[in-house]
Amino acid sequence: MADVSPAKYFPESNTTTTPEEVDIVLGKTLNDEKKLELIAKLKEFSCLWETSSPAYKTDKKSKEKAMEELSEIFNLERDSLRSLIHGLRSGLNRELKR
């Protein structure tokens, strides 16, 4: 039987790849205009960002539905979208601390 291990054909596959790196390779990054659209859409889904909201803390179904809808709108994988939202929040918090 032939050796079909991924390491044979993709020696660099021993490294871990982040969802952002996969999206960059596939050309699925968001430009600044799309990021602004995402921020505008996020306002509709307070369960994803408003920490004082009960839905943020307890309602997993609402969060999953919101992530599904946003991933379809922006044609991104859910993990990539989650990372993007995390990056936006981190950047905002970093700027607010200044």
User: Given a cut of 90, is residue 10 above it in pLDDT?
Assistant: no
Please give the Cα distance from 72 to 50 (Å, whole number): 22
Please give the Cα distance from 22 to 14 (Å, whole number): 15
- pLDDT range class, residue 25, cuts 50, 70, 90: very low
Residue 13 confidence (pLDDT): 52
Q: CA geometry: angle at 35 spanning 29 and 36, to 5°? A: 160
Residue 70 confidence (pLDDT): 93
Indicate the average pLDDT of the chain: 78
Domain extent at residue 63: 20-97
Q: Smallest Cα–Cα separation from 82: which of 48, 43, 31, 37?
A: 48
For residue 6, tell me if it sits in a domain. Answer: no
The total domain count for the chain is 1
For residue 40, tell me if it sits in a domain. Answer: yes
Residue 31 confidence (pLDDT): 80
For residue 3, tell me if it sits in a domain. Answer: no
For residue 69, tell me if it sits in a domain. Answer: yes
For residue 1, tell me if it sits in a domain. Answer: no
For residue 11, tell me if it sits in a domain. Answer: no
For residue 9, tell me if it sits in a domain. Answer: no
